[in-house]
Structure 1
Amino acid sequence: MHRLVKWLSRASAIVGGVVLLILVALTTLSILGREISKIGHGLGDTWLGNMLVASGLDEIKGSYELTEAGVAFAIFAFFPVCQFYGQHATVDVFTSALPRRAVSWLRAFWEVVLAVVIVFISLRLYEGMQRYIGNGETTLFLQFPLWWAYAASVGAAFIASVTAVYCAWARISEAATGRAILPEG
């Protein structure tokens, strides 16, 4: 189970990273197109202005919609690897003075809380997707169904939920036995 969850969390992060790289390229191209179009229109009826306008370069329609959906997916895609490697932000000002066993149980407690929260968010996201499937709402420019973005995020959230539940179990086992199961963050 450990290797499967590790592989799922890493694969999810890689896919999320690829999506982010694509979104960066999309946004960059959209901004460049918009600026080239502005320059072309700003030059007026000159040969360069006419050439830039005739090139057809402009902002990529629907880039905001794709960015919104892609970033939502990427956020959920990065949760599992962050969870598996214990890289969520922590403040251990008070816990650094506690005995090791107490810190283990405290970590286990917070892993369980985080698992419950991630599973809850995932379920709510799934219910939102079901609502959008039912009402057929689409995006403004590209007209793709909103539930598609939800479905991608639900898939990543499912992996995040599996990882969170596994990590909660692992932290409880670590606290009970004193043996490390997960990598230290």
Structure 2
Amino acid sequence: MQMNEWIKKHYPEPNLYRWIGVVLEGVSAIVLLFIVLLTCGDVVGRYFFNNSIDGAVEMTQLGLAIMVFAQMPVMTWRGSHVVVDLLDAVLGKRVIKVLGIFSVFIVSTSFYFLALRIFQLAERSIRRGELTEYLELPAGYIAQYIAVMSWLTAACMLTYGAYRVLTNKNDVSQSVGE
């Protein structure tokens, strides 16, 4: 199976969303591999050579932030969040659709304003020259990344999330290519 066929099989979203998903999940996979190798190296260094990797905890924290916020847009447009549907059988399909559109609006608005505040704090951090504790990396840049990914999550929720609600494509197994 060629790479393009594999991507089409496992990423059924429309073209732009497909490639955003491939890139973001690729970033997450690479960062996860880095965290695993870093942790293994740190443990081996600590127990066998009596010397751990300097800054391993801070690099792990930064890696987790990169990985989690790279996955947020993907999870959002696939509808992979935890959903409680106790009242779906009682309420009609029209009410469920209205509530879905309402939740799309609330979630996207929340992510937008959260990202706006995070970006303001990141700019302030960069202006002040704040650095991480051990590795002395500029702390504002990771906060800017978090803000940008939150904006991307808001945009994905407004566009493809709303499309999924309006076209009744909310089955998670359908969206992950199973």
Using structure 1 for the length normalisation, give the TM-score: 0.76
- In structure 2, which of residues 171, 174, 178 is the aligned counterpart of residue 184 of structure 1? 171
- Paired with 2:164 and 2:156, the residues of 1 have a C-alpha distance of 12
Q: Residue 91 of structure 1 aligns to a residue in which SS?
A: coil
Partner of 2:45: 33
Alignment-mate amino acid for residue 7 of structure 1: W
Unpaired runs of 5+ residues, structure 2, are 1-12, 173-178
What residue in structure 2 maps to residue 11 of structure 1?
A: 23
CA distance in 1, matches of 2:148, 2:112: 12
Unaligned runs of 5+ in 1: 39-57
Match of 1:53 in 2: none
> How many corresponding residue pairs?
160
Which of 156, 162, 182 is the matching residue for 2:155?
A: 162
% identical aligned pairs: 25
Is 2:74 the counterpart of 1:62? no
From 114, 119, 126, the counterpart of 2:119? 126
1:81 aligns with 2:74: yes
Structure 2 contact 77–161 (Cα < 8 Å) conserved: no
Greater C-alpha Rg:
1
> Would you say the 8 A contact 1:111–1:171 is kept in 2?
no
Aligned to 2:85, what secondary structure does the other structure show?
Answer: coil
* Residue identity in the other structure for 1:3: N
SS in 2 for 1:96: coil
**Structure 1 outlier segments of 4+, above 3 Å:** none
Say if 2:105 and 2:158, in contact at 8 Å, map to a contact too: yes
What CA distance in whole angstroms lies between the structure 2 residues aligned with 1:6 and 1:16? 15
**RMSD in angstroms over aligned alpha carbons?**
2.2
Structure 1 residue identity aligned to 2:94: R
TM-score with structure 2 setting the length: 0.79
